Structure 1
Amino acid sequence: MTTLRIGNASGFFGDRFSAFAEMVEAGVDVITGDYLAELTMLILARQKAKDPERGYASTFLSQLTEQLHTIAGSQARVVVNAGGMNPAGLAEAIRTAAHEAGLEIPVAHIDGDDLTDRANTLGLGTPLAANAYLGGFGITEALRAGARIVVTGRVTDAALVTGPAAWFHNWAREDYDQLAAAMAAGHVIECGMQATGGNFSFFTEIPDLRRPGFPIAEIEADGSCVITKPAGTSGAVTAETVVSQLLYEVSGARYAGPDATVRLDTITVTDLGDDRVRLDGVRGEAPPPELKVSITEIGGFRQEITAYLTGLDAEAKADLVQAQFAHALELSGLPRPHNMEWTLARTDRADANVQEEASARLSLVARDRDPKTVGRQFANLLVEFALGTVPGFFVAAPPGEASVYGRFRPGKVSQSEPIHRTHHDDETSLTIPAPTEFRGLEPTSLDAHSPAPANGRTSAPAGSQTPAPAHRSGTTDVTLPLGRLFGGRSGDKGGTANIGLWARTEAAWQWLRSELTHDALRRLLPEFADAALDRVELPNLRAVNFVVHGALGEGVAYGARFDPQAKGVAEWLRSRSITVDADIAGSVNLDDFFTAEHTPASASSGSDAAAGES
Structure 2
Amino acid sequence: MEEMLTGGALDVLTGDYLAELTMLILGRDRLKDPARGYAKTFLRQLETGLGLAKDRGVRIVVNAGGLNPAGLADAVRELSERIGVPAAVAHVEGDDVLARGPAGLRAPDGSGAERSAADGPASGSGWGEGVLTANAYLGGGGIAACLRGGADIVVTGRVTDAALVSGAAAAHFGWAEGDLDALAGAVVAGHVLECGAQATGGNYAFFAQEEIDVTRPGFPLAEIARDGSAVITKHPGTGGAVTTGTVTAQLLYETAGARYAGPDVTARMDSVRLTQDGTDRVRISGVRGEAPPPRLKVGLTRMGGWRNEVTFVLTGLDIDAKAALVRRQLEAELSSLEARGRRPKEVTWTLARTDHPDAPVQEEASALLRLAVRDPAEERVGRAVSGAAIELALASIPGFHVTAPPGKGSPYGVFETAWEDAARVPHTAVLPDGRRVTVPAPERTLEPAPVEEPSLPEPLPDPLPASYGESRRMPLGAVAGARSGDKGGSANVGVWVRTDEAWRWLVHALTVDEICHLLPEIRHLPVTRHVLPNLRALNFVIDGLLGEGVASQARFDPQAKALGEWLRSRKTDIPEGLLP
User: Please, what TM-score do these two structures have when normalized by structure 1?
Assistant: 0.87
Following the alignment from structure 1 to structure 2, what is the Cα–Cα distance between the partners of residues 474 and 221?
44
Question: Which residue is equivalent to 1:443?
Answer: 450
State the one-letter code of the partner of 2:220: P
Q: What SS does the aligned partner of 1:378 have?
A: helix
- Answer yes or no: is 1:196 the counterpart of 2:200: yes
| Aligned mate of 1:70, from 52, 55, 58 | 52
What does residue 472 of structure 1 align with?
Answer: 466
Mapping of residues 298-337 of structure 1, within 5 Å: 298-331=303-336, 333=340, 335-337=342-344
Letter of the 1:111 counterpart: E
The 5 Å alignment of 1:141-156 reads: 141-156=145-160
2:564 to 567, 570, 576: 570
**Cα deviation per residue 1:346-405 (whole Å; 9 max; x = unaligned)?**
111111111111110011111111111101232111011111111111000001111100
Residue 83 (structure 1) aligned with residue 88 (structure 2): no
2:379 counterpart residue number: 372
Aligned counterpart, 2:553: 559
Give the letter aligned to residue 522 of structure 1.
C
Partner of 2:98: 116
Instruction: Give 1:422-571 correspondences, 5 Å limit.
Output: 422-446=429-453, 471-472=465-466, 475-571=469-565
Asked if the contact 1:289–1:414 (Cα under 8 Å) also holds between the matched residues in 2, the reply is yes
Structure 1 partner of 2:400: 393
Match of 1:172 among 173, 176, 179: 176
Q: Match of 1:343, as an amino acid?
A: T
The structure-2 alpha-carbon separation of the partners of 1:473 and 1:263, relative to structure 1 and needing over 3 Å to count, comes to closer
Match of 2:139 among 132, 135, 140: 135
Residue 169 of structure 1: how far off its partner (Å): 0.7
Preserved contact between residue 468 and residue 576 of structure 2 (Cα < 8 Å): no
Return the alpha-carbon distance in structure 1 between the equivalents of residues 468 and 450 of structure 2.
41
Pair 1:47 & 2:26 matched: no
CA distance in 1, matches of 2:357, 2:32: 51
1:158 is aligned with what amino acid?
A
Q: Structure 1 pair 32/321, CA: closer, same or farther in 2 (3 Å)?
A: same
Cα deviation, residue 507, structure 1:
1.3
- The answer to whether the 8 A contact 1:329-1:381 is kept is no
Query: CA–CA distance in 2 between the matches of 1:207 and 1:567?
Result: 20
In structure 1, the residue matched to 2:121 is none
In structure 2, C-alpha distance between the alignment counterparts of 1:410 and 1:42, rounded to whole Å:
14
- In 2, the alpha carbon distance for the partners of 1:49 and 1:347 equals 41
Aligned partners of 2:217 and 2:443: how far apart in 1?
42
Q: 1:446 touches 1:538 (CA, 8 Å); kept in 2?
A: no
Q: Distance in 2 between matches of 1:399 and 1:208?
A: 42
CA 529–117 in structure 1, closer or farther in 2 if over 3 Å, else same = same
Deviation at 1:178, TM superposition (A): 0.2
The 2-side partners of 1:279 and 1:477 are apart by 35
Aligned equivalent of 1:362, options 357, 369, 372? 369
Matches of 1:336 and 1:364 in 2, distance apart? 14
Task: Mark the CA change 1:246 to 1:385 in structure 2 (over 3 Å): closer, same or farther.
Answer: same
* Range 159-168 or range 348-357, more displaced: 348-357
CA shift in 2, pair 1:50/1:120, >3 Å: farther
**2:429–2:436 contact (8 Å) kept in structure 1:** yes
Aligned partner (choices 38, 56, 59) of residue 56 of structure 1: 38
Q: Give the Å deviation of 1:506.
A: 1.2
C-alpha separation in 1, matches of 2:141 and 2:527: 34
Measured in 2, the distance between the counterparts of 1:306 and 1:114 equals 39
User: Which residue does the alignment assign to 1:255?
Assistant: 260
Give the superposition deviation at 1:471: 5.0
Deviation by residue 1:56-110 (Cα, 9 ceiling, x = unmatched): 0000111012222222233211000000011011000000000112232100010
Distance 2:454 2:197 in 1: 29
1:425 Cα shift? 3.4
Q: 1:344 to 1:114 in 2, by over 3 A?
A: same
Q: Distance in 2 between matches of 1:45 and 1:153?
A: 13
Matched residue SS, 1:59: helix
In 2, Cα distance between the equivalents of 1:74 and 1:570? Answer: 40
**Partners of 2:232 and 2:51 in 1: CA distance:** 28
2:190 maps to: 186
- Cα separation, partners in 2 of 1:294 and 1:542, compared to 1, 3 Å: same
Counterpart AA for 2:14: T
2-structure distance, mates of 1:75, 1:474: 56
Whether the 8 Å CA contact 1:334–1:373 is kept in 2: the answer is: no
Distance in 2 (CA, whole Å) between partners of 1:501 and 1:302 is 34
Q: Alignment partner of 1:22: what SS?
A: helix
2:187 & 2:478 partners in 1: Cα distance? 31
SS in 2 for 1:178: helix
Measure, in 2, the Cα distance between the counterparts of 1:385 and 1:254.
Answer: 54
Instruction: State the shift of 1:27 in Å.
Output: 3.0
User: 1:418 Cα shift?
Assistant: 1.1
**Cα distance in structure 2, aligned partners of 1:474 and 1:27:** 48
Structure 1 residue identity aligned to 2:64: A
- The one of 198, 210, 213 aligned to 1:208: 213
Distance 1:109 1:133 in 2: 15
For 1:296 and 1:387, locate their aligned partners in 2 and report how far apart those are by CA, in whole Å.
Answer: 42
Is contact 2:207-2:213 (8 Å) kept?
A: no
Please point out which of 339, 344, 350 is paired with 2:351: 344
Q: Report whether the alignment pairs 1:36 with 2:18.
A: yes
* Deviation sequence 1:522-578 (CA, Å, 0-9, x none): 000000011111111111000000000000000000111110000000000000001
Amino acid at match of 1:325: L
Aligned: 1:579 with 2:560:
no
1:592 alignment partner in structure 2: none
Report the counterpart of residue 267 of structure 1 in structure 2.
Answer: 272
Deviation at 1:470, TM superposition (A): 7.2
Task: Indicate conservation of the 8 Å contact 1:83/1:151, yes or no.
Answer: yes
Match of 2:2? 21
Aligned residues: CA RMSD = 1.4
Question: Separation in 2 of the partners of 1:474 and 1:495?
Answer: 40
Aligned residues: 547
1:117 aligned counterpart, secondary structure: coil
> 1:270: Cα distance to partner?
0.2
Letter in 2 for 1:382: A
Secondary structure of 1:572's counterpart equals helix
* 8 Å Cα contact 1:410/1:494 also seen in 2: yes
What's the counterpart of residue 458 of structure 2? none
- Report SS of the residue matched to 2:380: coil
1:358 alignment partner AA: A
Q: 1:480 to 1:117 in 2, by over 3 A?
A: same
How far residue 474 of structure 1 moved from its aligned partner, in angstroms, is 9.8
Structure 1 gap ranges (5+)? 1-19, 449-468, 587-614
8 Å Cα contact 2:308/2:372 also seen in 1:
yes
- 1:205-256 CA-to-partner distances (Å, cap 9, x unmatched) read 2342111100000000000000000111100001100000000011000001
Q: Distance in 1 between matches of 2:361 and 2:414?
A: 39
Percent identical: 54
Which ranges in structure 2 are unaligned for 5 or more consecutive residues?
Answer: 106-114, 116-126, 456-462
Distance 2:432 2:271 in 1: 41
Output the CA distance in 2 between the equivalents of 1:561 and 1:408. 15
Deviations 1:138-176 (Å, cap 9, x if unpaired)? 000000000010000000000000000000011011100
Deviation sequence 1:19-64 (CA, Å, 0-9, x none): x011111331100010000000000011011101111000011101
